[in-house]
Structure 1
């Protein structure tokens, strides 16, 4: 790790990865300060606990002084941010989050996991296996996992495993984050159109992954899922001296609601389920093999992997009901997650609930991409808050448009969380499962508490 930076100021410190990096650098002895115009929990509480929560919300150019070694610019900030303007006037070095990670990882072997879905899970699996066998590593994650502490670690470890998001780098740089890390080993899990606000066409979106694949260096490795058409088209393109590795879903069998991997040494019981997770396991295995992990060690470690936070996470269960929550919000994620729960519990009724919360999902020009994504559910439910649409300067969606987009006339649609909760509480929960999918919180519902109440009241 490069150690010539000791004083850092974060513009938009409240972001999920930004605040976690701020905490990490503070623990390493750096002087860290930051600003933001709004900060919510859990970032707010974490920053406060470490003395990093700004005394006032807003932007204060006077905070920017010549003795600051580096500015870290978050995506939430605007290009005309007053603090950023002052930093430029003083000639201070300004890094985006991924640029700073790269700067501190130049001497490491860099492994970057990209794709529209599965990034967090695959990255978490790799870290779990490396932890299990005692390997030293750094990392950048998009969601918390029980395996490691926090979302980022930057030390003198020889390798770093990075979840490579395809979203824009910063207000000053419209290129995707995953390009900034300059990977030695890159993986593309799959490609399905997302981030409509910055990639208005499918071609625009797919192009970002082609750029990522083209950035694979001579002697480097590109790994991709051969069961994904777009990833395969990009992956099979000839690139001089780049190793290409294809993978597909790991052979498996489901018995009494439990998934077992089929291996040369027999069946291996695991906690994860769903066809998409079998693909994720194969992707993680290919990466681990490339960095010297023995196959037998991988299979010894993977049974204890319980998944990443909010990735098909079990909230509560009893003998006849289970409640899951998932970060699924894009169409491909919705389809895969719903199908996974139904296939794992085919004899149970599935009530699948999703929140339209992102710019893409609330946009009438994109919502048709959700066609048939809830068809594996016995009861499909959609929640959206018209105020969120207005805040994003979008025309609120009508019930008819949503039903048409999902291709389900029996779709239940709610615009207030109280009515949604009343509807769900009133359902027949014996021999039924509930799946709650969102990148939001359904207008303030505590999903853990609500899921547990469903299970406890229907023993």
Structure 2
């Protein structure tokens, strides 16, 4: 009997790394992993897949794997990484593995500052139920997909194209590994200033991506009333066909795809998609927010472009459950709505808050916000201008600790961030900083009333504050 190949993940507890680990387990590999800590839902997910993992860094536990995968947040001084280097073991970055085991002849890459995860999850779901047996990688937990990573036998792959760096030893954007034949580009708004200290650095990565498209390929790019000048510059560099998607009033060319909202509600929203100056189809979704309808339009358009039947696209749209932590409703008890959202930048927070305000026009909105590392820098301060105009209260918790070095730009602490948000938003916006988590939750419990909305915005887990808020408000 042939011995199983062994793959070890250093930093296995990330959503992407965990999904890739489960994919290799299903492919018959021996899979092990390590991380500094393990928390639900990823820890439970790994246990269910019967993957062996341990907390901390222990070179003596690694063994002699065929491949070692190193997460992009893992330090070059990590003991397991140093051990693998000394032993001359095969070390790979995350996107290298995606390229080798997931990318297919027809490669759809979904890129942009926001909307990547939702659009790529929808496409994977839609193309799967169209019986094309695709491969995919999606950087989030999507209920319609059994796993965020899958190696199918068909000729199509769908990949969330992250602009973040490949690894500590390779600063190239991950999406440059994925050989796109088809590209969806949702937006190009400077982000991740910890990796891209100048806007030009950020734009250069997207320019390289656009130039990867073959002449027979296609770029499906968003267009809005307020033009995204960066996006327009990027697509002008591509030597391939450009197709646009957006609201009906901004679409001019008949080859492009537009949407029109027919009805919005918290239970179901209906919209019409147009192409070739006529109705392509009428669709319905349970997802929140106009921006979600825009995301679905991108997915519907790409499905239509590659030949998925309309009935199958409609079924996929109606059944699509979205992605965890994207305007995910956690509770509506006591008629107080609590949402969890991954919006870790002021740009993404603004979009999510605008969507909530559309559904709850009379509500008081309490936004609990923790930015990622790049949106705590001095450079990022300008992005907070009017970012919280749809909220009534902004609550800043104690910010999670991050690694720093002397070469990195100074980062704001929670108090400084609170002052910047207050300074750059409407005068009647109430902004508070909470050093103690329990005090923040108690504030929400005592200040909220029926009809109010609480939304947690950030990429961290909020140290159990979401669950605690649900419990305390449910019993108040």
TM-score class, shorter-chain normalisation, is 0.7 to 0.9
Partner residue in 2 for 1:420: 440
Deviation for aligned residue 1:170: 0.8
Deviations 1:119-172 (A, max 9, x none): 111112112322443331121111111111121111323211111111010111
Partner residue in 1 for 2:429: 410
* 1:167 has 2:177 as partner: no
Residue 260 and residue 452 in structure 1: after superposition, are their counterparts in 2 closer, same or farther (change >3 A)? Answer: farther
CA distance in 1, matches of 2:70, 2:236: 35
CA distance in 1, matches of 2:49, 2:280: 48
Q: How does 1:113-192 map to 2 (within 5 A)?
A: 113-192=110-189
Deviation for aligned residue 1:310: 0.8
Deviation for aligned residue 1:361: 2.7
Partner of 2:376: helix, strand, or coil?
coil
Residue 37 and residue 93 in structure 1: after superposition, are their counterparts in 2 closer, same or farther (change >3 A)? Answer: same
CA distance in 1, matches of 2:402, 2:353: 25
Partner residue in 1 for 2:360: 345
Contact 2:137 2:159 in 1 (8 A): yes
* 1:16 has 2:20 as partner: no
Question: In terms of mean alpha carbon deviation, does 143-152 or 416-425 score higher?
Answer: 416-425
Partner residue in 1 for 2:382: 368
Partner of 1:354: helix, strand, or coil?
strand
Partner residue in 1 for 2:256: none
CA distance in 2, matches of 1:190, 1:110: 19
Partner residue in 2 for 1:202: 199
Partner of 2:322: helix, strand, or coil?
coil
CA distance in 1, matches of 2:184, 2:282: 26
Partner of 1:248: helix, strand, or coil?
strand
Partner residue in 1 for 2:108: 111
Residue 211 and residue 246 in structure 1: after superposition, are their counterparts in 2 closer, same or farther (change >3 A)? Answer: same
Gaps of 5+ in 1: none
Alignment size in residue pairs = 449
CA distance in 1, matches of 2:80, 2:461: 31
CA distance in 1, matches of 2:353, 2:66: 47
Alignment RMSD (CA, Å)? 2.9
Contact 1:382 1:414 in 2 (8 A): yes
Deviation for aligned residue 1:435: 2.2
Contact 2:222 2:245 in 1 (8 A): yes
Q: How does 1:326-345 map to 2 (within 5 A)?
A: 326-345=341-360
1:450 to 430, 454, 469: 469
TM-score (norm 2): 0.85
Partner of 2:394: helix, strand, or coil?
strand
1:324 to 322, 339, 344: 339
Partner of 1:77: helix, strand, or coil?
coil
Residue 209 and residue 173 in structure 1: after superposition, are their counterparts in 2 closer, same or farther (change >3 A)? Answer: same
* 1:272 has 2:287 as partner: yes
Partner residue in 2 for 1:253: 262
Question: In terms of mean alpha carbon deviation, does 125-134 or 230-239 score higher?
Answer: 230-239
Deviations 1:386-436 (A, max 9, x none): 563797984524343341144546322122222221221123422332222
Deviation for aligned residue 1:327: 0.8
